[in-house]
């Protein structure tokens, strides 16, 4: 299968350049998978992916974990079509699974202000799971203003808008196989 991975890409009239290659992403996910395999063996955890952004990361992450596990999804909206957070989190879809007494691995594509992740951990905790840990592929460390629980972080990145590998700009760009960063010169 050949993947969509140009060196630079234009999306909604703005220029982005390559930031994390397919190989770098793959290697980091293999490491995360190994750590999760060690931590969760025998516990049948449920991965909960945050739609839409986390669907590609979650599918690769799950396949790098060598234990029995399940998956479910929920959906939030906080960005609209803009490049900066609206500061508001809206529920669009809840999980279907009963997570009481289950081990939860909450999977996000990116933590920016931390508002979404914080909201989600609080929301899921009310359903009395046995445990909740979080995984995010990307963390904009300097942009995070919320007290947020981050157990596994793929890459710490600057506070610039990124695109690809599930991450969108006004819904576009999710199908890029690598991660691109906004070229600020444009």
Residues designated as active site: 112
The answer to whether the beta carbons of residues 52 and 168 sit under 8 Å apart is: yes
Which CB atom, from 17 or from 67, has the smaller least distance to ligand IMP? 17
109 binds ligand IMP (CB under 6 A): yes
Which CB atom, from 37 or from 85, has the smaller least distance to ligand IMP? 85
CB of 166 to ligand IMP, least distance (A): 9
106 binds ligand IMP (CB under 6 A): no
Which CB atom, from 32 or from 110, has the smaller least distance to ligand IMP? 110
53 binds Mg ion (CB under 5 A): yes
Rounded (10°) angle between helices 55-63 and 22-40: 60
Cα separation, 70 vs 82, whole angstroms:
33
137 binds ligand IMP (CB under 6 A): no
Segment 143-147 long-range contacts (CB within 8 Å, at least 24 positions apart):
143/112, 143/113, 144/111, 144/112, 144/113, 144/114, 145/113, 145/114, 146/113, 146/114, 146/115, 146/117, 146/118, 147/114, 147/118
Partner that binds at residue 155, options Mg ion, ligand IMP, none, CB closer than 5 to 8 Å by kind: none
Other CB atoms within a 10 A radius of the CB of residue 168 amount to: 19
114 binds ligand IMP (CB under 6 A): yes
Which CB atom, from 42 or from 87, has the smaller least distance to ligand IMP? 87
Residue with the two structure tokens 């444009």: 186
Shortest CA distance to 51 belongs to which of 102, 92, 112?
92
Per-residue binding string, ligand IMP, 45-64, x by CB under 6 A, is: -----x--x-----------
Identify the sign of the CA torsion 70, 121, 29, 112: positive
Select from 11-19, 23-31, 97-105, 109-117 the region that touches ligand IMP (CB under 6 A).
Answer: 109-117
Which residues in this chain contact Mg ion in the complex, by CB under 5 A?
Answer: 53
Using CB under 6 A as the criterion, which residues of the chain lie in contact with ligand IMP when the complex forms? 50, 53, 78-79, 85, 108-117, 161-162, 167-168
């Amino acid at each position: 299968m050949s993947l969509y991975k140009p060196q630079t890409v234009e999306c909604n009239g703005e220029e982005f350049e390559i930031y994390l290659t397919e190989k770098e992403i793959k290697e980091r996910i293999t490491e995360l998978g190994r750590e999760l395999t060690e931590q969760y063996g025998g516990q049948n955890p449920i991965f909960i992916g945050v739609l839409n952004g986390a669907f590609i990361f979650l599918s690769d992450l799950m396949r790098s974990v060598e234990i029995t596990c399940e998956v479910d999804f929920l959906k939030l909206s906080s960005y609209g079509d803009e490049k900066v957070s609206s500061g508001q989190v809206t529920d669009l879809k809840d999980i279907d699974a009963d997570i009481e007494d289950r081990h939860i691995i909450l999977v996000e594509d990116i933590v920016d202000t931390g508002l979404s992740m914080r909201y989600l951990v609080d929301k899921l905790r009310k359903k009395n799971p046995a445990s909740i840990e979080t995984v995010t592929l990307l963390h904009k460390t300097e942009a995070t203003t919320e007290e947020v629980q981050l157990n596994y972080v793929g890459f710490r990145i600057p506070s610039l808008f990124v695109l690809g590998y599930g991450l969108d700009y006004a819904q576009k760009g999710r199908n890029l196989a690598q991660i691109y960063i906004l070229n600020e010169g444009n």
